[in-house]
Chain A
Amino acid sequence: MSTPAIVLKNVWIRYNSNVILEDISFSVEKGEILSIVGPNGSGKTSLIRAIMGLKEIWKGEIRVMGSPPVNLRKSGVIGYLPQGNMHDSGFPVNVYDTVAMARFSGKRFLERLDRDDRGNVRESLERVEMWDYRGHHFGSLSGGQKQRVLIARALALRPEILILDEPSTGLDAVAQDSFYLLLRKLRDEQGLTILMVSHDIGTVSNIVDRLACIKQKIHFHGRPDECIPSDALAKVFGRDVYFVKHDKDCETCRGNR
């Protein structure tokens, strides 16, 4: 059996003296899509920052492709898509330059982009159907288009793992649908392992293989079609929360479309 892409064993994270995550253990298999779900302030972003080596953990152990996360810098193993609308829309870069930035990170000091790099940038943009926009100013794109370009930038590293932080924030229903389809396509065609943070359990449950419901502790970890215990949902999201799975293949819904 192959080593999981990501393994967390009894991970504790604190901010100053406050414990924000307690005893988190789970793994993400290679080629799997897993979503960390929880309300705002539940520690989701801190957890993925720890997985990427951007935040120190207090106790426990994290292994990414068998190594501590900080050892993976420069390897391009992880492609990261931060939370949307964090970028300055006035920043003077076009789509091509935005994706090309990623190729420079692995270069030696005086190395320029070579043919292989330019081909890689083109391939990454074509994969997300944004090649035709290569000359456009990044800040002038719609939310969905920006997300696609940032995915292309992450893909330009040729990563094995894609980590996304609330990727659907600011996207309308159509753009969300198209974005999640793209993620599945990337997983199916490239075998990418995808770890995604979301607060929208209903939407992500359609595309992920497994869910991890987190609020300080891990309250549920399993397949989305398993029955999530109502007390787990109540602990994560508060009381009176009902989990509605938006099933696109639902037989009875089809007639209403």
Chain B
Amino acid sequence: MSILELAFFRNALVMCVLLSLLFGVLSFFIVMRKMSFLGAGIAHTAFGGVALGVFFGIDPFFTSLGFCVIVAVITGRLVRAGTLSYDVIIGIFFSFSMALGAMLIALKKDYTFDLMGYLFGNILGVTARDNVIAIVAVLVFIPFIAVFLQRILFMTFDREVAEVSGVNTGMLDTMLLVFLAGIIVVSIRMVGIILVSALVVLPASFGSLFSRNYRRVILYGCIYTAVIMTGGLFLSYYLNTPAGATMVTLGTAIYFTGVLIFRLTRSE
């Protein structure tokens, strides 16, 4: 029996392709704005959101989505107001959300909670409904980027000048943070809370090694993510290892191979 005949594997494969597109594009703006730590912070925040859902008997997808979006928007506002810096706020929410999650799950004693699945991903947990949610995310996020690409690029390159020139940086900033939170939550069932931050950082970092043109950096980032996610998925099936962990290990290996090739070709 071919693995493609397995419904859960097909769901996971479709999810990989959709997430490649989402993270390939998102990663560029997060990495170029030096907000990678925010990705890790939002991902860990999701744990508190998931636990809230478990505790109150609500679908954890919606509670984690709501929780992460609220944290992302509050973070953005506090940073823009100059009250606190990203690393301070994320440092606080990071541990608070994990602590809240651990407490709520401990209080809900009779619940069988797939903790490892949420932390490190579980392809068995990816359903057709998750794919529909990911398709909706692609249909909203990609047109948003297509319409605002130049303005976001301007804001990313030179925020104050963009603001003086009439770019609505506050609105674009908030939208990007909402998408960051949403895309992370969509990917958690597949990759896991602990590992998803790698997908925020690696695509653009890899793309930047091979091009100094932003369009190509985004394109290479999407291709790279597709390779590591689908490659990691197949590898995990044959090696019987967790999918998220396999994807991130493969991605890191390919990234450092890329760094080596970049250094060798540059020294020539």
Q: Does B150 contact A (CB under 8 A)?
A: yes
Question: Which A residues are in CB contact (< 8 Å) with B167?
Answer: 105
Least CB separation from B146: chain A residue: A110
Of the listed stretches A91-99, A174-182, A239-247, name the one at the interface; the rest are far from the partner chain. Answer: A91-99
Most central of A76, A80, A90 by chain B CB within 10 Å? A80
**Is A91's CB under 8 angstroms from B166's CB?**
no
Query: Are A74 and B166 in contact, with the CB atoms below 8 A?
Result: yes
The size bracket of the interface on A is 35 or more
B217 in contact (CB, < 8 A)? yes
Chain B residues lying within 8 Å of A81, measured Cβ to Cβ, are: 161
Contacts of B158 in A (CB 8 A): 82, 86-87
Q: Given the complex, which residues of B lie within 8 Å of A87, measured CB to CB? A: 157-158
Given contacts A54-B160, A102-B154, contact A75 B214 (CB under 8 A): no
The 8 Å CB contact of B154, one of A52, A73, A105, A137, is A105
The one of A52, A109, A137, A140 that contacts B164, using a Cβ cutoff of 8 Å = A52
Q: Does B163 contact A (CB under 8 A)?
A: yes
Q: Cβ of B32: which chain A residues have Cβ within 8 Å of it?
A: 88, 91
Q: Which of A80, A88, A105 contacts B151 (CB 8 A)?
A: A105
B266 within 8 A of A: no
A119, CB-defined interface residue at 8 Å:
no
Question: Are A76 and B165 interface neighbours, CB within 8 A?
Answer: yes
- When the two chains form their complex, are residues A101 and B213 in contact, meaning their CB atoms are under 8 A apart? no
Q: How far is the CB of B168 from chain A (nearest CB, A)?
A: 9
Assembled-state Cα–Cα distance A97/B215 (Å): 11
CB pair A93–B214 under 8 Å, yes or no, is yes
Chain B residues whose CB sits within 8 angstroms of the CB of A52 once the complex forms: 160, 164
Contacts of B217 in A (CB 8 A): 92
Contact A139 B212 (CB under 8 A): yes
- Taking the nearest CB of chain A, how far is it from the CB of B135, in angstroms? 23
Q: Is A6 an interface residue (CB 8 A)?
A: no
How far does the Cβ of B164 sit from chain A's closest Cβ, in whole Å? 5
Task: Looking at the assembled complex, report how far the CB atom of A112 sits from the nearest CB atom of chain B, in whole angstroms.
Answer: 9
Identity of the chain A residue whose Cβ is nearest the Cβ of B33 in the assembled complex = A88
Can you add 18 more A-B contacts, CB < 8 Å, to A49-B160, A82-B161, A92-B214? A53-B164, A54-B160, A54-B163, A73-B163, A80-B161, A82-B158, A82-B160, A87-B157, A88-B32, A91-B32, A91-B157, A93-B153, A93-B157, A93-B214, A97-B214, A101-B154, A104-B151, A109-B148
Chain A hits for B162, CB < 8 A: 101, 105
Q: In the complex, what distance in Å separates the CA atom of A230 from the CA atom of B38?
A: 51
**Interchain CA distance A94-B161 in the complex, whole Å:** 17
Interface residues of B in 22-54 (CB under 8 A from A): 32
Q: Is A106 at the interface (CB under 8 A from chain B)?
A: yes
How many residues on the B side are at the interface (Cβ–Cβ under 8 A)?
25
CB of B85 within 8 A of chain A? no
Question: B interface vs A, CB < 8 Å?
Answer: 32, 147-148, 150-151, 153-154, 156-158, 160-167, 208, 211-214, 216-217
The smallest C-beta distance from A62 to any residue of chain B, in angstroms, reads 14
How far does the alpha carbon of A82 sit from the alpha carbon of B165 in the complex, in Å? Answer: 12
Instruction: Decide if A34 is an interface residue (CB 8 Å cutoff).
Output: no
A154 to B158, CA, bound (A): 12
Question: Cβ of A78 < 8 Å from any Cβ of B?
Answer: yes
Q: Which 6 A-B pairs have the closest CB atoms?
A: A74-B166, A104-B150, A101-B154, A105-B165, A137-B212, A92-B214
Q: Which residues of A contact B214 (CB under 8 A)?
A: 91-93, 97
A78 to B165, CA, bound (A): 7
Tell me, in angstroms, the Cα distance from A101 to B216 when the chains sit together.
17
Q: Give which listed residue, B148, B153, B212, contacts A101 with CB less than 8 A.
A: B153
Closest to B213 in A: A92
A54 in contact with B150 (CB, 8 Å): no
Within 8 A of B (CB), among A95-136: 97-98, 100-102, 104-106, 109-110
Bound-complex Cα distance A82 to B167 (A): 16
- Per-residue B-contact encoding for A135-160, CB less than 8 Å = 1, 0 else: 00101100000000000011001000
- Contact residue among A74, A80, A101 (Cβ-Cβ distance under 8 Å from B150): A101
